[in-house]
């Protein structure tokens, strides 16, 4: 199935399961909106579910709206270093963190100017870790009601609760908080390693039709 998705920051299980089970078209011509997974992701820490948020440069005045592809990162705030340190602290005791550490570390060291470029590169690196070939194309124009494609762009909205029937796996702080659903795919990768792709390929996608 051809399916329309937003490239998000360290995508969650629902988004990544959708990605690996379908032919994807990336929505890159839309307007940027606040409070979405474009610049936020959730991981599991010793405090429970924790949000990583990428600061962006907001456009003010009459130019309040801007295209997603034009959104610039606010690198005056050293968010990359903070996010990487948070990931290290949260997952250093997970079974597979050290296995993927060298692949993922450049994301939090190399310089990026645009949010979309960073997200697409992050997804490419994560997919390489999963040993999955994305082979996705990008939109040329924004369509409110696209035809001949399944519109899954709603998955980008952070305020929308996804009713995902997700099989549990052992998380680092499972003994403190129980299983926390639909975190970033990195949570799965660090805990399940090479079994992660099979897990995503077998994830139930009923939430797409909810």
pLDDT in tens, 145-160: 999 999 999 999 998 8
pLDDT of residue 210: 65
Q: What angle in degrees, to the nearest 10, is found between the helix axes of 79-91 and 185-192?
A: 40
Residue of 197, 194, 210 whose CA lies nearest to 96: 194
pLDDT in tens, 127-185: 999 999 998 999 999 999 999 999 999 999 998 888 999 999 999 999 999 999 999 99
Q: Are 189 and 49 in contact (CB under 8 A)?
A: no
Token duo for residue 113: 């100017």
Which whole number is the average pLDDT over 50-62?
84
C-alpha–C-alpha distance, residues 208 and 200, integer Å: 15
pLDDT in tens, 7-16: 999 999 999 9
């Amino acid at each position: 199935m051809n399916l329309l998705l937003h490239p998000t920051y360290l995508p969650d299980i629902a988004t990544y399961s959708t990605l690996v089970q379908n032919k994807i078209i990336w929505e890159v011509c839309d307007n940027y909106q606040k409070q979405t997974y474009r610049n936020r992701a959730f991981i599991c820490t010793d405090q429970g579910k924790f949000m990583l948020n990428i600061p962006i440069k907001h456009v003010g005045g009459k130019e309040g709206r801007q295209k997603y592809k034009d959104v610039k990162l606010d690198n005056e705030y050293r968010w990359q270093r903070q996010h990487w340190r948070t990931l290290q602290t949260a997952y250093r005791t997970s079974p597979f963190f050290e296995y993927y550490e060298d692949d993922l570390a450049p994301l939090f060291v190399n310089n990026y100017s645009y949010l979309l470029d960073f997200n697409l590169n992050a997804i490419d690196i994560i997919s390489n870790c999963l040993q999955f070939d994305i082979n996705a194309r990008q939109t040329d124009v924004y369509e409110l009601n696209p035809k001949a494609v399944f519109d899954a762009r709603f998955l980008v909205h952070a305020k929308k609760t996804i009713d995902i029937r997700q099989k549990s796996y052992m998380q680092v702080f499972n003994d403190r908080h129980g299983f926390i659903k639909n975190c970033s795919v990195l949570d799965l990768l660090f805990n399940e390693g090479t079994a992660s792709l099979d897990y995503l390929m077998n994830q139930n996608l009923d939430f797409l039709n909810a």
